[in-house]
Amino acid sequence: MRERLADPVFDMAAVALQTNDRLGGRQVVPVLDRLAQASRGELRVQEELRAYRARTVLSARVVAAVPVVLLVAIRWINPEYLAVFDAPGGQAVLALCAASVAVGYGAMLWTARTPGQPRVLR
C-alpha cells in the first residue's frame, strides 16, 4: 500500500503501526495523535511556503516586466530619447540588459523553489 500511495505521511503512520506491532506497545492512540498533530503542523508550513513562493514568483515577474514596460512607454512617448539604442553599441547594451533581467528572473525563481518531501520508507 505504501508503494501505491507514495505519501510520506502514510509512511510515518505505517512505521508507527509496525513499531507498535513489533514491540507490543499499548500507546498506539497517543502516537497516532502526535503524528496527526505533526502532519497538520507540516501542512501549515507547506501552505506558508506555497504563499511565499507565489509572492516571490509574482515579484520576479513584476521586476522582469518593469524595464520592458518602461522602455516601450518611453519609446512611445519620445522615440528620439532612446535613439542611442538604435546603434549597434546600444543594441548590445540592450541585449546585455535583457540577459541580466533573464538571469535575475531565473535566480528569483530558483530561490523560490520548494524542496520535495523525502520518503521515510523505501
Does residue 92 lie in a domain region? Answer: yes
Does residue 55 lie in a domain region? Answer: yes
Q: Could you give the count of Cα atoms lying within 13 Å of 21 in the half-sphere of its Cβ?
A: 6
The pLDDT of residue 84: 86
pLDDT, tens digit (0-9, with 9 covering 90-100), for 6-25: 777 888 888 888 888 888 77
The pLDDT of residue 122: 53
As a whole number of angstroms, the distance between CA 9 and CA 34 comes to 12
Boundaries of domain holding 39:
2-111
As a whole number of angstroms, the distance between CA 120 and CA 8 comes to 6
Cell 515579484 belongs to residue: 59
Q: How far is CA 83 from CA 90, 98, 102, 111, in A?
A: 9, 18, 24, 36
pLDDT, tens digit (0-9, with 9 covering 90-100), for 59-101: 999 999 999 999 999 989 998 988 888 899 999 999 999 999 9
Does residue 119 lie in a domain region? Answer: no
**Among 19, 101, 115, CA closest to 64:** 101
Q: Number of folded domains in the chain?
A: 1
